[in-house]
Structure 1
Amino acid sequence: MKKVKILYVEDEPFLAKIVKESLESRNYEVQLLSDGRNVMDVFAKWQPDVCVLDVMLPFRDGFELGTAIRKRSPTIPILFVTAKNETEDVLKGFAAGGNDYIRKPFSMDELLVRITNLLLLSGNSEGEKTTDVTEMTLGDFVFSPEKLTLSHQKNPPIQLSYREAQILELLCQHRNGTLERKHLLLSVWGDDSFFNSRNLDVYIRKLRTYLAADEKISIITLKGVGYRFMVEG
């Protein structure tokens, strides 16, 4: 079985050594870099399955790297490692293409859970690429989870963020049915904390705005339950 490849960028030598050895002991293949200089070259040549990026790095910080990586690969999972607790920095990480974050100091158990969850959500838990549904027709829209695009018959295509595409794909899987809020939060973020719940509200509002061009589509909030994604016709 092919090993899952993790690109790990961390400038603290002691922490980097511990994490690398712990991941390798669990059968992951790890490429460790100590600063941001050569990350994009290594990324292009090595083609990892997941990226774990410290935020505070010499030469190029984690957010800059995350943005560059996301442009190269719209679907690769990116996990930011941060020593900061400010909400603004966490939001900046998501805006830079991050799928999740973990705060220092962290336990290896927590890191492993987050990596495993990201791989499951990306359909790459065994280190093998999947090719599920490439396009979905939603009224006047065509949604591509793979390309992260939402195209309308009369309007320019919308480039979705990875998180927006994840949420829309889950809504599509429960089309004209009920998608529980807790299930959605656990599927996308791995936990249903208050912070993630507020983030979900923001993403739902964005998706409603995108889909407003077709009056036959609606995302209905079921208070205390979740959402109903209605697509007529």
Structure 2
Amino acid sequence: MDKIKVLFVDDDMVLGNIVTLALEDSGYEVHYQTSLAGIKMVVKEMQPDIMVLDVEIGAKNGIEVVPELKAIVPETPVLIVSSHVESENVMKALEAGAVTYLKKPFEIVELLAYIQRFVKTFRVKGLEVGRLHLKAEESLLMKGDETVRKLSTLECKLLKMLALNLNRTVTREQIELELWGDYVTESSEQSLNNYIAKLRKYLVEDKRLELATIPKVGYKLSDGE
């Protein structure tokens, strides 16, 4: 497999150089820059596997550019790093499309763990789900050439996780961590219930598929084989 490509944008050059060297030593291909200048063109040309953005980048805000970058590479996870730990910033980042918010100062091993975790999930471009097919890059659930459903980002992540663990139980804790990272709230439980209910409706296109609730544990997607 080709090297995982990391786009890292942070105007702290000392930190930037340390992170770049650490990632390269760990086998990643890294493009590091200190500003958001030309960032859209960089993303188009590089097609990164993950993007790591600071919040304050010069006079600009990294969170605000996330939707624009996700429009170019919708399947690429975005990791926000910042010393600003206010819950308002965290919520804005997650609502903009970031997968998690890593607070500075952080240990390099912590950043590496997040990159490995999210790239592993997002690098899967397509999955067979029984007689259906999940086109992860476009968040489309297909049946042959017919679109069954255009999924939301979280619906797609959830179905992908269940499909990658076909015929195996996935715990609620694992799912919540995958969908909301370290920012699971009291409302997350009901949100997960709603997403499961929606996926069940979509999956009726293949009668062999069963999305079962494992009481007090989690969920299991089975293909009837």
Name the TM tier (shorter chain). 0.7 to 0.9
**Structure 1 pair 68/224, CA: closer, same or farther in 2 (3 Å)?**
same
Paired residue type of 2:37:
R
> Which residue among 207, 225, 231 is the counterpart of 2:217?
225
How far does residue 105 in structure 1 lie from its aligned partner after superposition? 0.6
Contact 2:9 2:32 in 1 (8 A): yes
Equivalent residue letter for 2:54:
D
Structure 2 partner of 1:208 = 197
Q: Secondary structure at the match of 1:74?
A: coil
2:42 corresponds to which letter in structure 1? V
1:94–1:61 distance in 2 versus 1, CA, 3 Å: same
- SS of the aligned residue for 2:105 comes to coil
Letter in 1 for 2:194: R
Q: CA RMSD in A?
A: 3.7
Is 1:67–2:56 an aligned residue pair?
Answer: no
Distance 1:11-1:120 versus aligned 2 partners, 3 A rule: same
Aligned to 2:184: 195
Conserved 8 A contact 1:36-1:59: no
- Residue 37 (structure 1) aligns with: 37
Residue type of the partner of 2:184? F
**Residues 173 and 49 of structure 1: CA distance in aligned 2, closer, same or farther (over 3 Å):** closer
Residue 180 (str. 1) matches residue 171 (str. 2): yes
Cα distance in 2, alignment partners of residues 95 and 224 from structure 1: 29
SS at match of 2:58: coil
Tell me, yes or no, if structure 1 residue 170 matches structure 2 residue 157.
Answer: no
Q: CA deviation at 1:111?
A: 0.6
Q: Does 1:146 align with 2:137?
A: yes
Q: Distance in 2 between matches of 1:159 and 1:149?
A: 6
Compute the displacement of 1:157 (Å): 4.4
CA distance in 2, matches of 1:177, 1:27: 31
- Tell me the CA shift for residue 156 of structure 1: 9.2
Match of 1:79 in 2: 79
TM-score, scaled to structure 2: 0.75
Unaligned runs of 5+ in 2: none
Secondary structure of 2:170 counterpart:
strand
Tell me the matched-pair count.
221
Superposition deviation, residue 8 in structure 1: 0.5
In the alignment, structure 1 residue 116 sits paired with structure 2 residue 116: yes
Counterpart CA distance in 1 for 2:187 and 2:165 is: 21
Distance 1:24 1:142, change over 3 A: closer
Mapping of residues 126-145 of structure 1, within 5 Å: 131-133=125-127, 136=129, 143-145=134-136
The separation in 1 between residues aligned to 2:63 and 2:141, in whole angstroms, is 25
How far is the alpha carbon of 1:167 from its aligned partner? 0.9
CA distance 1:37–1:148, shift in 2 (3 Å): same
- 1:81–1:102: 8 Å Cα contact kept in structure 2? yes
Shift of the 98–104 alpha-carbon distance from structure 1 to 2, 3 Å rule, reads: same
Indicate the residue corresponding to 1:57 in structure 2: 57
C-alpha distance in structure 2 between counterparts of 1:51 and 1:137, whole Å = 32
Q: Which runs of 5+ in 1 are unaligned?
A: 124-129
- Residue 208 of structure 1 contacts residue 218 of structure 1 at CA under 8 Å; is this kept in 2? no
